[in-house]
C-alpha cells in the first residue's frame, strides 16, 4: 500500500474509533465485561466510559502517532497495525457485552 493510502487508513481508523465509542455509549450497558474467565463467566467488569476509553485511546493514539511520525513515508507500520488492534478490541467488547457470544 502506498503511503497516501496508509494515511487515509489511519484517518479512517481514528474516525471509526470515535464512532464506535459513541455507539458504545448509547448501546452498551453501564457496566461492561472486560475480562472473561475460562468457564465463560464475567471475570472483571468496568464502568462504561473508562472501558470504552481504552480502545479509543489505543486506536486514536497510535493512528495519530503514525500520521505525525516523519519516518512513516515507506518506513515502519507498527503504529498503524497497533491502531487496528484497538478496533479489534472494540469488536470483541461489543460481541461480549451485547450477549452475542452467549446467554
The per-residue pLDDT for range 13-65, each reduced to its tens digit, is 999 999 999 999 999 999 999 888 888 788 899 999 999 999 999 999 999 98
In a domain, 78, yes or no: yes
In a domain, 102, yes or no: no
Domain count, the chain: 1
DSSP conformation class of 52:
H
In a domain, 60, yes or no: yes
Q: Residue holding cell 507498527?
A: 78
Instruction: Compute CA distances 59 → 17, 36, 96, 99, whole Å.
Output: 6, 22, 19, 24
Is residue 102's pLDDT more than 90?
A: no
| Structural domain that includes position 70 | 3-96
From CA 53, how far away is CA 51, in angstroms rounded?
6
Question: pTM of the entire structure?
Answer: 0.84
From CA 100, how far away is CA 18, in angstroms rounded?
22
Q: What local confidence, expressed as pLDDT, does residue 6 receive?
A: 84
In a domain, 103, yes or no: no
What pLDDT digit, counting tens, does each position of 67-99 carry?
Answer: 888 775 555 688 889 999 999 999 999 998 987
In a domain, 13, yes or no: yes
In a domain, 48, yes or no: yes
Q: What local confidence, expressed as pLDDT, does residue 69 receive?
A: 81
From CA 77, how far away is CA 10, in angstroms rounded?
11
Amino acid at each position: 500500500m502506498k503511503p497516501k493510502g496508509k494515511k487515509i487508513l489511519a484517518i479512517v481508523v481514528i474516525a471509526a474509533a470515535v464512532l464506535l465509542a459513541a455507539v458504545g455509549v448509547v448501546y452498551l450497558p453501564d457496566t461492561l465485561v472486560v475480562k472473561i474467565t475460562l468457564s465463560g463467566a464475567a471475570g472483571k467488569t468496568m464502568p462504561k466510559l473508562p472501558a470504552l476509553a481504552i480502545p479509543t485511546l489505543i486506536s486514536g493514539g497510535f493512528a495519530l502517532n503514525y500520521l505525525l511520525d516523519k519516518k512513516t513515508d515507506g518506513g515502519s507500520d507498527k503504529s498503524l497495525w497497533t491502531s487496528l488492534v484497538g478496533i479489534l478490541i472494540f469488536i470483541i467488547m461489543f460481541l461480549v457485552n451485547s450477549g452475542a457470544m452467549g446467554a
